[in-house]
Amino acid sequence: MISANATSISFEFFPPKTEQGHAKLAETRLALAALEPEYFSVTYGAGGSTRDNTKSVVLDGLNAGFNTAPHLSFGGDETDTIIALLQEYAAAGVNRLVALRGDLPSGFGGGARLVHANELVSFIRQHCGEQFHIAVAAYPEIHPEATSYDTDIGFLKKKFDAGASSAITQYFFNPDAYAYFIDQCQASGVEQPIYPGIMPITNFDNLLRFSKNCGAEIPRWLCYRAEALQHKPAELNAFYLEFVTQLCEKLIALGAPGIHFYTMNQAEPSIAICQNLGLQ
Ligand code: FAD
């Protein structure tokens, strides 16, 4: 599906655990499809823990006529399992992947290995040639395990050198972080598009928890404002919506090629932002 908008949009889902969740996701996807996204993507649980469930959501999306991109990491799988999965995806009509190192699920014992994303990109190119558009992850506020700003950008460059086609960022709330990051990537020779990942704000406590793990900075003033409005849900939601809309406006003004929404399987928050932006 080609987006009618100059700013391309895409929406990310996670695979639900229940049948009810799958049915609700089908409704969410239909509602978001009205915005003519370039594609939907479906996450891959840490350590490959959702391999079959991710595949089932991807195939459902393709069968419903929507361009759908699986996220993929080696997880705990053997190379043959990953090759078979790639072949299955290609046969089903997948033309885009999001390639990641991923993290280990909590409680995963010793012995497990994490394969860096640049190696996974090389592996996919080696086995599948140019069959897929491969997106990788990028971190304007720098990956929490990175040893320095420059090495992290160096590793992103390695993912592109291995054959990645584009990158999607971790979510962030400071547009200056993206602007500086893009400058530094370009100075390092990165020419491929880097799409900002945007997290609509719905549940602040969850956001604080996620952000601690993934290293996204929550502006201090935003925390204070959220606290002040905590007993006024309508005002609070309007404030979050305005805040994220303005973030997107600034990113588009900076030249962001599009926006990738972390939907958390909800349609309304992303739709409201897109409507505010005139992306409909
Ligand atoms: P890498 O690029 O391998 O980087 C990981 C760390 O190692 C960084 O600190 C980097 O500086 C360093 N590094 C990179 N390459 C090398 C190398 N060759 N040698 C040494 N060090 C290196 N997680 C999931 O489990 N499932 C998902 O579906 C998922 N989807 C995501 C989608 C997006 C858009 C983003 C931004 C993140 C997603 N994540 C997902 C989270 C991601 O898996 C974690 O952030 C993970 O910790 C890093 O993955 P990566 O692909 O960026 O790893």
The pLDDT value recorded for residue 132 is 98
217 as an active site residue: the answer is: no
Q: Which residue's CA lies nearest to atom 46 of ligand 1?
A: 102
R_g of the chain computed on alpha carbons: 18
Domain holding 30: CATH number? 3.20.20.220
**pLDDT given for residue 104 in this prediction:** 79
Is 230 part of any domain? yes
Residue in 172, 176, 156 with CA at minimum distance from that of residue 164: 156
Domain that holds residue 17: 8-277
Residue numbers of the chain with a pLDDT score lower than 50: 1-4
**Confidence at residue 4, expressed as pLDDT on a 0 to 100 scale:** 43
In a domain? residue 3: no
Residue 248's pLDDT is 98
Q: Residue 111: its pLDDT value, please?
A: 58
User: Which residues, at least 6 apart from 274, have a Cβ–Cβ distance to it below 8 Å?
Assistant: 9, 35, 280
The pLDDT of residue 5 is 53
Question: Does residue 77 belong to any structural domain of this protein?
Answer: yes
Whether 2 is in a domain gets the answer no
**Which atom of ligand 1 is least distant from the CA of 100?**
51
Cβ(89) to ligand 1 under 6 A? Answer: no
Q: How far apart are CA 202 and CA 199, in angstroms?
A: 9
pLDDT at position 280: 75
- Tally of domains in the chain: 1
Strand stretches in 14-141, DSSP E: 39-42, 68-72, 96-99, 133-138
**Residue 146 falls within a domain, yes or no?**
yes
pLDDT (0 to 100) of residue 109: 60
Residue 1: per-residue pLDDT:
39
Is there a domain that residue 178 lies in? yes
In a domain, 1, yes or no: no
Is any ligand 1 atom within 6 A of the Cβ of residue 150? no
